[in-house]
Structure 1
Amino acid sequence: MGTFEKTKLNRVKRGQNRAIYDTEVIHQIIDAGFIGHVGYIYDGYPISIPMAYARKDDKIYVHGSTANRMLKAILDSGKTSINIMHLDGLVIARSGLHHSVNYRSVTLFGEVKEIVNDQEKTTFIKDIVDQMIPNHWDTLRPMHQKELDRTMVIEFTITSASAKVRAEGVNDEPEDYDLPYWAGVIPVKQVLEAPVADKGYPSTIAIPEHITAHYNNFKQ
């Protein structure tokens, strides 16, 4: 699929040996989650907000209220950046300085525009829902027009990106390896606990198969 050109904007400076610009790897890291931190400037302050997202090819979709100040701010600027990170392990060293974590992260840069067509908005909101729980949208009631009217959908086109990945053990000082201190890696993973039904009708029916399947894929 190619690579992103290394530029002044996306180049990883610290830990360059962990930098990845391969498009396929970057897409894999994006697709492994559904929450990204979106950056914007408001009243002179840099702010980042966690947002649910979905990816389609080189585009990321996020949504929120039409009154959302973050969405308005990035539309005004025409561009933003998004960071997505997965924590994979705690790296426990022999000294405090060398403690670290194993992780997969991407930083995305790109241009934004608003999706105004109702059918397109619905499609991309569906994609965001299904990014969280696969095959979930088709089991929901249809959106009301007033809900759609109050929702803003933003299309973010990735123009530049880089990934940074650490997947290794402890990197202690050579002279410390014989010291009597425990060191190693504690793997970290995200797990789901058993679904809990809401009050009312859901408490009287079986959990849908697609939710049970998703739970089984990520339970402890």
Structure 2
Amino acid sequence: MSSLEHEIDQEKLSLTQRTKIGRMPSRGHYERELVYQILDEGLVCHIGFTVDGQPFVIPTAYGRVGDRLYIHGSTASRMMRSLAQGIEVCVTVTLLDGLVLARTAFHHSMNYHSVVIFGTATKVQDEAQKLEALEAFTEHIVPGRWAQVRQPNHQELQVTSVLELPLHEASAKVRTGPPNDEEQDYSIPVWAGVIPLELTASTPIADSRLQKEIILPSYLHNYTRK
């Protein structure tokens, strides 16, 4: 069992026609805490929306505060301006855990944890809430970083748009374990199993203009997304 599935709060999100898992329903999960844990481990979400009949799917960073997902971007961004109008969006986050190699081509698969969110976003107007969201972005990527860096000034806040999306209509989908071959295919003489995958950080590389007396902060030692 993945560490993401340990000690999960059993409070469930409300099931809707959009969040109900149709394909492989046994892999569907609606526990709020599992959805939060997947979001908190991921780094990039993909936002799907349609403008004038043209579909778009845009990858972007995000942050979570309680039951709200926050995204940010330039005030000139087409995505930010479109989403601020209250159009329907679909947001996805996927953690790839492994490659599943079966004895037949048909049953090759992947192990993963994923979340799909539906809803409409709202523009954050309050400056204090905007700063809270920007702190969430920074701390989501590198915990401990916000307290050390210069925080956004008034001009930077003016050119930055922040949107919030409630995490009310969401679900998770998870696949774990070995390949599921047909019973008659287990005798095929070919290697089968799982190649585990995970996102790992290499040794941090200092900026060439970094002052020589500045050492690597403790929160960057052994950086991990787990």
Gaps of 5+ in 1: none
Q: 2-side partners of 1:142 and 1:27: how far apart?
A: 26
Of 44, 50, 53, 1:44 maps to 53
Please name the residue that 2:129 is paired with. Answer: 120
The 4+ residue runs of structure 1 with deviation greater than 6 A are none
TM-superposed CA distance for 1:29, in Å, is 1.1
Count of equivalent residues: 216
Q: Deviations over 1:139-174 (max 9, x none)?
A: 101322211110000011122111100011011111
Amino acid at match of 1:155: E
Q: Deviations over 1:79-137 (max 9, x none)?
A: 32210110000000111111100000010112311111222211210110110000101
1:149 aligns with 2:158: yes
Q: 2-side partners of 1:42 and 1:67: how far apart?
A: 16
Of 4, 10, 13, 1:4 maps to 13
Please name the residue that 1:185 is paired with. Answer: 194
Q: 1-side partners of 2:214 and 2:145: how far apart?
A: 17
Give the structure-1-normalised TM-score.
0.93
Describe the SS at the equivalent of 1:135.
coil
Of 65, 78, 88, 1:69 maps to 78
1:111·1:159 contact (CA, 8 Å) conserved in 2?
A: no
TM-superposed CA distance for 1:21, in Å, is 1.0
- Share of identical aligned residues, percent? 36
TM-superposed CA distance for 1:78, in Å, is 4.0
Give the structure-2-normalised TM-score.
0.90
Matches within 5 A, 1:1-220: 2-202=11-211, 205-212=214-221, 216-218=222-224
Describe the SS at the equivalent of 2:70.
strand
1:63·1:152 contact (CA, 8 Å) conserved in 2?
A: yes
Q: 2-side partners of 1:108 and 1:179: how far apart?
A: 40
Structure (1/2) with the larger helix percentage: 1
Gaps of 5+ in 2: 1-8
Q: Deviations over 1:149-204 (max 9, x none)?
A: 10000011122111100011011111111111111000001100000011212455
> Aligned Cα RMSD in Å?
1.6
